[in-house]
């Protein structure tokens, strides 16, 4: 597989240094992507870089994932208007272990093949580097004029910037450049990849390799992913979409991809899945014939949820979606784990009730019109019952004498009341 050609048709190629494609066609090449370790989970903004490494490994080359322990302590100025918080070593090591576990779902770290992936942390070689040694061995190789010409520096020092730039951040490109030199020297790494905003930092690395070792190295970047409406990719109202199931439930993860626009889904399915060109072309054509069926979005959500989580999580997310949109059964509802259940009904009105009262049994009228305010009056509840519009835990209720007790609790804690087709209420026993 021609790696560069693969990225090109997938819309994952922005800038490429002359000679890069020839190098990749010539021999097995080691290439790295830097990953910011400021959290103990990757989010979907990291996925483009991870997918670049995955395609690289599929093409027979050797991926290196670099955890930026040292650079994470400084903060990359690219695209930022202010400095970030610095992390301590204990936090960095914890984050690194969590990130490696997630990367192992995408990359082969253990097969023993020549192109087995490796994970490195730049803190390991930077922590012993004294300031004097760094400015003597690295700093003197690159001129201030060269560093000032980079866009990431220009923007922060320009007239529009009110904050300016600290010396710490100014040296960031040198530290990142030295990473490339270190990997080149010790692991034979000849290519660095990243987002298009990293071009300046990456080329500083190739320049350092040339000046410090008379070596040749290469650079390749992908476009920054945006949404068709111009808003930021990977963000929702509640923040980042994380790969960690504790931070973003598989159901919410699935829903994120399912809710993408047609235009975005057509781009994302090339970037974030391993489907072939023929499969994607056929899907796009089928989607255009019947856009209301949202085939692209469904396939995108399926592929990503299985790749990041599991097939079981995907199937549960599909079942959970059916429950919310009226097709689910009481049996499906009880099968959901608590995190999925709460993710599905996030934002619906909630009411608290004493578990002891429930264990004694409460008449349906008392429960829904007195103990809680699911119905404003018993009269409205009676009319809804007569019109067959009330469900408890997805089972229709018609008996006005029904006694609701602890047997109705889902997971020993929740009762789901439904008024009509779309109005849900969550009763929580505590």
Length of the chain: 430
Is 197 part of the annotated catalytic residue set? yes
Which 8-state DSSP code applies to residue 125?
H
Would you state the pLDDT for residue 413?
94
Which stretches of 134-225 are assigned E, i.e. beta strand? 189-195, 218-222
Examine the residue annotation and report whether 329 is marked as an active-site residue of this protein. Answer: no
340 in Cβ contact with 315 (< 8 Å): no
Residue 23: closest CA among 55, 48, 53, 56: 56
Mean pLDDT, rounded, of the chain: 92
To the query of whether residue 206 is one of the catalytic residues in this protein, the response is no
Name which of 171, 66, 100, 191 is nearest 129 in CA terms.
Answer: 171
pLDDT (0 to 100) of residue 325: 77
Mean pLDDT, residues 126-150 taken together: 92
CA distance linking residue 205 with residue 321, whole number of Å: 47
Q: What is the pLDDT of residues 104-113, one digit of tens each?
A: 999 999 999 9
Give catalytic status of residue 309 as yes or no.
no
231 included as an active-site residue: no
User: What pLDDT shows up at residue 235?
Assistant: 73
Question: Does the annotation count 124 as an active-site position?
Answer: no
Catalytic residue, candidates 38, 82, 116, 168: 38
Contact 165, 157 (CB under 8 A): yes
Looking at the predicted structure, is the pLDDT value of residue 78 above 80? no
| Residue 280: Cβ within 10 Å count | 18
Average pLDDT of the segment spanning 231-251: 87
Q: Is 305 a catalytic residue?
A: no
Kindly name the residue from 236, 322, 350, 386 that is annotated as catalytic: 236
Phi, psi of 194 (to 5 degrees): 180, -175
| Strand arrangement of the beta sheet that strand 218-222 belongs to | 15-16, 218-222, 189-195, 30-35, 62-67, 118-121
Instruction: Answer yes or no: 236 catalytic.
Output: yes
Given 15, 36, 108, 197, which residue is catalytic?
197
Confidence of residue 75 (pLDDT cuts 50, 70, 90): low
Token pair in block for residue 284: 């796009």
Q: What is the distance between the alpha carbons of residues 397 and 225, in angstroms, rounded to a whole number?
A: 48
Task: Identify the active-site residue in 10, 40, 46, 313.
Answer: 46
d(CA 54, CA 144): 36
Q: What is the model's pLDDT at position 53?
A: 98
User: CA 32 → CA 35, 56, 65, 109, 195, distances in Å?
Assistant: 10, 10, 6, 14, 12
pLDDT (0 to 100) of residue 372: 94
- Is the CB of residue 418 less than 8 Å from the CB of residue 390? yes
Closest by CA position to 392, among listed 367, 370, 373:
367
- From 8, 232, 277, 383, active-site residue: 232
> Can you tell me the mean pLDDT for 206-225?
96
- Among the listed residues 14, 36, 80, 294, the single catalytic one is 80
Q: Is 101 a catalytic residue?
A: no
Dist CA 56 CA 50 (whole Å):
10
- pLDDT category, 326, cuts 50, 70, 90? low
Taking alpha carbons only, the member of 1, 51, 52, 47 closest to residue 24 is 1
Q: What is the pLDDT of residue 170?
A: 85
The enclosing H or E element of 239 equals strand 239-240
- Residue 231: pLDDT band (50, 70, 90) is confident
pLDDT tens-digit map of 146-204: 898 888 788 778 766 677 788 887 888 899 999 999 999 999 999 999 999 999 999 99
Percent share of the chain, pLDDT over 90:
75
Set 227, 235, 247, 419: catalytic member: 235
pLDDT given for residue 242 in this prediction: 96
- Residue 232 among the catalytic residues: yes
Asked if 278 and 269 touch (Cβ cutoff 8 Å), the reply is: no
Active-site residue, selected from the candidate residues 14, 84, 141, 382? 84
Dmax over CA atoms of the chain, in Å, equals 87
pLDDT attached to residue 89 = 82
Q: Which of 43, 93, 355, 413 is catalytic?
A: 43
Tell me which residue has tokens 């069926």.
293
- Given a contact cutoff of 8 angstroms between Cβ atoms, the answer to whether 234 and 48 are in contact is no
Q: Which of the four pLDDT bands, split at 50, 70 and 90, describes residue 81?
A: very low
Q: What is the pLDDT of residues 257-298, one digit of tens each?
A: 999 999 999 999 999 999 999 999 999 999 999 999 999 999
Please give the pLDDT value at position 211. 95
- What pLDDT score does 155 carry? 79
Return the DSSP state at 198. G
The residue annotated as part of the active site, out of 71, 171, 176, 248, is 176
3-state secondary structure of 399: coil
């Amino acid at each position: 597989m021609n790696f560069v050609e693969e990225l090109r048709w997938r819309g994952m190629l922005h800038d490429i240094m002359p000679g890069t494609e020839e190098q990749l066609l010539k021999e097995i090449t080691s290439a790295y992507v830097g990953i910011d370790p400021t959290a103990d989970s990757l989010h979907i903004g990291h996925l483009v870089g991870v997918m670049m490494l995955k395609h690289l490994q599929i093409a027979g080359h050797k991926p290196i994932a670099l955890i930026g322990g040292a650079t994470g302590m400084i903060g990359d100025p690219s695209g930022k208007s202010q400095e970030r918080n610095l992390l301590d070593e204990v936090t960095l090591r914890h984050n690194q272990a969590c990130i490696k576990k997630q990367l192992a779902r995408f990359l082969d770290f253990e097969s023993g093949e020549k192109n087995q992936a490796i994970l490195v942390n730049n803190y390991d070689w930077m922590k012993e580097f004294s300031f004097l040694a760094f400015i003597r061995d690295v700093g003197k190789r690159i001129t201030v004029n060269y560093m000032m010409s980079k866009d990431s520096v220009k923007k922060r020092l320009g007239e529009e910037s009110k904050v300016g730039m600290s010396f710490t951040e100014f040296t960031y490109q040198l530290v990142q450049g030295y990473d490339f030199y270190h990997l080149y020297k010790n692991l034979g790494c000849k290519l660095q990849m990243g987002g298009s905003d990293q071009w300046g930092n990456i080329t500083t690395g190739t320049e350092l390799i040339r000046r410090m070792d008379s070596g040749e190295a290469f650079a390749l970047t992908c476009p920054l992913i945006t949404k068709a409406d111009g808003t930021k990719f990977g963000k929702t109202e509640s923040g980042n979409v994380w790969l960690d199931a504790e931070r973003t439930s598989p159901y919410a993860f699935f829903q994120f991809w399912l809710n993408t626009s047609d235009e975005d889904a057509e781009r994302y399915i090339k970037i974030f899945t391993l489907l072939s060109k023929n499969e994607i072309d056929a899907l796009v054509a089928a989607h255009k014939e019947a856009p209301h069926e949202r085939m692209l979005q469904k396939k995108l959500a399926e592929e990503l949820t299985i790749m990041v989580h599991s097939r079981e999580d995907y199937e549960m997310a599909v079942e959970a979606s059916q429950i919310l949109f009226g097709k689910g059964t009481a049996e499906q509802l009880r099968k959901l784990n608590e995190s999925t259940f709460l993710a599905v009904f996030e934002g619906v009105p909630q009411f608290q009730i004493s578990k002891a009262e429930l264990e004694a049994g409460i008449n349906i009228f008392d429960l829904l019109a007195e103990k809680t305010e699911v119905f404003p009056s018993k009269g409205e509840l009676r009319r809804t019952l007569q019109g067959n519009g009330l469900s408890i835990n997805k089972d229709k209720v018609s008996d006005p004498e029904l006694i609701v007790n602890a047997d109705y609790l889902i997971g020993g804690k929740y009762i789901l009341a439904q008024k009509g087709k779309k109005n849900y209420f969550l009763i929580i026993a505590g």
